[in-house]
Structure 1
């Protein structure tokens, strides 16, 4: 669990990381350099979940051996499926990371939503739904590895 009190934002008790895969942890279906190590490190503090439609069909093999739970969703209604997933898990104790339009509802519902703009770009709707915007998934994951960085970004 990651516990941190952020002035003007609130007390966070983060038990779950819920991440999109393509465009977030991977480019063209292949895990980005450094992501496996960062996810393994974060998984010592909170449960890591990856939810994806798996456009390239590589998520299972790319995440094999990592301490993450993988959920592959149908292509239809992805935004609603991701929202339902994080709601069942516990949105108030979740941080969500994503870049696509189908991540917008999940990012908005999470205690902390982090939108990314990387090689596949970032949906304007997801950017507007997030609490934080990063230009690298490793920067986003580092916010969880060093939670005081969340304070610096979210306090008011």
Structure 2
């Protein structure tokens, strides 16, 4: 995906990095509408799901999805997520998440979208985001209809 943001230049995204719990899943279950959107988005991005998998359901819930699932360890999750995104650069990364462990990943990403959702969003992650949306389907739709990004991001 490539989009021109007036006053800010070009955004080029090749990778989409998604948190699992609180972002694409709630209580360990994939949220409604996510599967269908990811099937469309696989044509635009390499999709990664990066999770601590606190409910132990990520492997099952991501089965059959066009995603690369990466389960991170229990220690220093913020740094592990930051490093993961950093290793994808300079290809261009959009990240979506809501937890405190997503903050450093957001600071590395070219486009960071905070998902408030039913779990809420950690303040530090919210402050590191470029855009804030109410739920994951709104966030994914911004990438499917990326012309919506222009009015929000233009300077």
Same fold by TM-score greater than 0.5: yes
| Distance in 1 between residues matched to 2:71 and 2:90, nearest whole Å | 19
- Structure 1 equivalent of residue 25 of structure 2: 26
User: Offset at 1:9?
Assistant: 2.2
**Runs of 4+ residues deviating >4 angstroms:** none
Deviations 1:36-88 (A, max 9, x none): 11111111111100000100010010010110000000011111000000000
Deviates more, 1:50-59 or 1:7-16: 7-16
| Distance in 1 between residues matched to 2:8 and 2:62, nearest whole Å | 33
Residue 50 of structure 2 contacts residue 70 of structure 2 at CA under 8 Å; is this kept in 1?
yes
Unpaired runs of at least 5, structure 1? none
| Distance in 2 between residues matched to 1:16 and 1:109, nearest whole Å | 13
Residue 14 of structure 2 contacts residue 91 of structure 2 at CA under 8 Å; is this kept in 1?
no
Unpaired runs of at least 5, structure 2? none
Residue 8 of structure 2 contacts residue 154 of structure 2 at CA under 8 Å; is this kept in 1?
yes
Deviations 1:119-144 (A, max 9, x none): 11100000000000000100000010
Deviations 1:82-122 (A, max 9, x none): 00000001166000000000000111210010011111110
RMSD: 0.9
Equivalent residues, number:
155
| Distance in 2 between residues matched to 1:103 and 1:73, nearest whole Å | 12
1:37-76 alignment runs, 5 A limit = 37-76=36-75
1:4 equivalenced with 2:42 (yes/no): no
| Distance in 1 between residues matched to 2:108 and 2:48, nearest whole Å | 16
- Structure 2 equivalent of residue 77 of structure 1: 76
Q: Please, what TM-score do these two structures have when normalized by structure 1?
A: 0.97
